[in-house]
Amino acid sequence: MTTSADSSDRSTLASLPRNVWVVTATSFLTDVSSEMIFNVLPLFLLNVLGVKTSVIGLIEGVAETVASLLKIFSGWLSDKMGSRKWLTVLGYGISAVSKPFLMIAASWEAVLAVRASDRVGKGIRTAPRDALIADTIDEKHRGLAFGLHRAGDTAGAMVGLLIALGVVWLTEQNAAVLTGETFRLLVLIATVPGILAVIVLALGARDVRVKNPDAKPPRLSLMALGPNLRHFLLVVVLFTLGNSADAFIILRAQERGLSVVGVLAMLATFNLIYASLATPLGALSDRIGRRRIILGGWTVYGILYLGFALAQAAWHIWVLYALYGIYYAAFEGAAKAFVADLADPSERGSAYGMYNAAVGIAALPSSVIAGVLWQGLGAWPGFGPTAPFLFGASMALLAAVLLLILVRQVRQV
């Protein structure tokens, strides 16, 4: 039975502005390209290059930190320029050009250089892109717009994973480890959608000038943001300290006995659930409030991370990771819309820069902590594969409590 709310959501979805659809298509194509490569990158590092888990955590953390520092500047710069589009195009272009160099990477240092270059592109594009979406849509449908964007992004990830799964199946069948030849073939194939994404955005998007003549020039300072937004950033940082790179979930799945094909199929299942729920949960945040949706997402996260720690078999990890898509669908779109709710329009790029930077900067210690908890460091032994997930579940609970105490729900028109 179709409800009036369902019909209204579909009608509103059809009337979303052109920019929302173009940016969604760009993210779809980019994730087709990225997810073919980066979800199996930990396996390439471990199986082909023989890199330790602590170094894998370092690579992921450093890459995200590079992106984070640029997100602050690029968001502020888009406010100062009063436009978003061409910074976004530049960022996607840098990522598309950097990925093919993985075909010749023969050391973890080379992988780090390419991964960092890709994240430079992400750092340049993310805040202006999010601000471009927020500038294009009214506040009543902001959650829906960001939910659609996350759904498109994740659908691209699912398609990329399915392509990777097909390539691995055809070249390696049910092999327990990934070979260098298969990885380099994936990189070659992934180049095509990456370049198409840049073309779609450059030709399809329309810049939206930020018109606020009474606004002061944007300040590149956390204190320039309102207290409610600052508190939200603090809580997100605390949560992110326990939210280590998903590479550790992939390694946990392999440690529990899942094959390379099984890992890719698991990731595709996760993305199917994420893509299916991102738009409706984004729209739901327009009706019941962003904070409630974020709290629900963090609660699901804590339960699932406890499950990752206690899992005894490979299929346990598969089921848990599939359900992990619920957390992503609930949090990602609602959090982006919440930042727009809390920020002044003339400083929206800076606000997104600070938000994305806060998440990214916390990613370095979170991934290093996870690697050390798993393996140990030097003379200090680690606690084993369960430890990073127990830590993540604890930090999610702390963040949920602080969100209730420190951050007000804003009224949505």
* Residue 91 CB partners (closer than 8 Å, separation 6+): 74, 121, 122, 123, 124, 125, 126, 128, 129
Identify the three-state secondary structure at position 45: helix
What does the pLDDT read at residue 361?
75
Q: What is the reported pTM?
A: 0.73
Name the token pair of 186. Answer: 């994936």
Average pLDDT over residues 173-188: 80
**pLDDT tens digits along 294-326:** 999 999 999 999 999 998 888 899 999 999 989
CA terminus-to-terminus distance, the chain: 28
Answer whether residue 187 is part of any domain. yes
Answer whether residue 383 is part of any domain. yes
Residue 367 belongs to what domain range? 19-209+221-406
Of 55 and 294, the one with more pLDDT: 294
What value does the mean pLDDT of the chain take? 84
- As for how many domains the chain has, the answer is 1
Torsion of CA 278, 308, 171, 53, to 10 degrees: 110
Quick check: 191 pLDDT over 50?
Answer: yes
Q: Interior CA angle at 171 toward 168 and 174, to 5°?
A: 60
Which of 66-80, 212-226, 268-282 is most confident? 268-282
Q: For residue 251, which of 384, 101, 355 has the smallest C-alpha distance?
A: 384
Average pLDDT over residues 280-286: 89
Answer whether residue 326 is part of any domain. yes
**pLDDT tens digits along 135-155:** 888 888 888 999 999 899 889
Answer whether residue 311 is part of any domain. yes
At 215, the pLDDT band (50, 70, 90 cuts) reads low
Backbone φ, ψ for residue 97 (5° rounding):
-75, -30
Quick check: 372 pLDDT over 90?
Answer: no
CA-to-CA dists, residue 374 to 39, 65, 98, angstroms: 19, 21, 30
Answer whether residue 411 is part of any domain. no
Answer whether residue 12 is part of any domain. no
At 3, the pLDDT band (50, 70, 90 cuts) reads very low
Average pLDDT over residues 344-369: 81
Answer whether residue 151 is part of any domain. yes
302 near 397, Cβ under 8 Å?
yes
Half-sphere exposure of residue 171, counting CA atoms within 13 Å on the CB side?
17
Of 381 and 354, the one with more pLDDT: 354
* Residue 311 CB partners (closer than 8 Å, separation 6+): 252, 256, 317, 320
What does the pLDDT read at residue 213?
43
Average pLDDT over residues 193-210: 91
Quick check: 9 pLDDT over 60?
Answer: no
What does the pLDDT read at residue 88?
94
Can you tell me the distance from the alpha carbon of 231 to that of 236, in angstroms, rounded to the nearest whole number? 9
What does the pLDDT read at residue 5?
46
Dump strand ranges (E) for 79-196.
none
For residue 381, how far is the Cα from the chain centroid?
31
Can you tell me the distance from the alpha carbon of 169 to that of 408, in angstroms, rounded to the nearest whole number? 49
Q: DSSP string covering 300-368, please?
A: HHHHHHHHHHH--SHHHHHHHHHHHHHHHHHHHHHHHHHHHHHS-GGGHHHHHHHHHHHHHHHHHHHHH
At 400, the pLDDT band (50, 70, 90 cuts) reads very high
245 near 362, Cβ under 8 Å?
no
Q: For residue 382, which of 392, 371, 393, 368 has the smallest C-alpha distance?
A: 371
Which of 33-47, 138-152, 191-205 is most confident? 191-205
* CATH number for the domain that contains residue 339: 1.20.1250.20
What does the pLDDT read at residue 28?
96
Answer whether residue 93 is part of any domain. yes
Identify the three-state secondary structure at position 49: coil
Which DSSP state fits 410? Answer: P
Quick check: 39 pLDDT over 80?
Answer: no
217 near 80, Cβ under 8 Å?
yes
Q: Interior CA angle at 192 toward 191 and 196, to 5°?
A: 120
